[in-house]
Amino acid sequence: MSAEIDPIGYDEDDAVKYIQNYLPQELKGKFSNDEINYIIDIIYEFYEDKGLLDESSSDDEVIDIDEDELTAFVLKNTKKDKLKDFTADEITFIIQGELAYCESIDIFE
């Protein structure tokens, strides 16, 4: 995915609701809002570590988000913090829901 991330207008509560609705039927209700919010925090930690939130970057700069790398980063952190035993597929759905939320509010320009 190529985009520039502009977190202005991002609302974590709305993002969590969006992701809960985005999840496939078999995963609905499986994660608490706090768990999803925690994963969102890890996602943004990844963005920060990669310099994707750096305000000094050029407006013309294209940013590629490697979803596999992001999934691995989130899984590593959830295991390290002993949050819950998430599967890669579960994390992927949450990440895809978060990215879809960002697109729905035009964070990716």
In a domain, 61, yes or no: no
Helix/strand/coil (H/E/C) assignment for every residue in 11-73: CHHHHHHHHHHHCCHHHCCCCCHHHHHHHHHHHHHHHHHCCCCCCCCCCCCCEECCHHHHHHH
Comparing 56 with 40, the larger pLDDT belongs to 40
Residues 6+ apart with CB under 8 A from 86: 74, 75, 78
Band (3; pLDDT cuts 50, 70, 90) = very low
Band (8; pLDDT cuts 50, 70, 90) = low
Q: Dihedral of the CA atoms 72, 100, 90, 82 (nearest 10)?
A: 60
Phi-psi region of 82 (alpha: psi -120 to 50; beta: other; left: phi over 0): left
In a domain, 49, yes or no: yes
In a domain, 66, yes or no: no
What value does the mean pLDDT take over residues 73-87? 88
* Residue 37: domain span: 12-54+73-109
Mapping DSSP to helix (H, G, I), strand (E, B) and coil, where does residue 106 land? coil
In a domain, 63, yes or no: no
In a domain, 59, yes or no: no
Question: Do 75 and 95 meet the contact criterion of CB atoms below 8 Å apart?
Answer: no
In a domain, 106, yes or no: yes
In a domain, 93, yes or no: yes
In a domain, 68, yes or no: no
Comparing 62 with 93, the larger pLDDT belongs to 93
Q: What's the number of domains the chain is made of?
A: 1
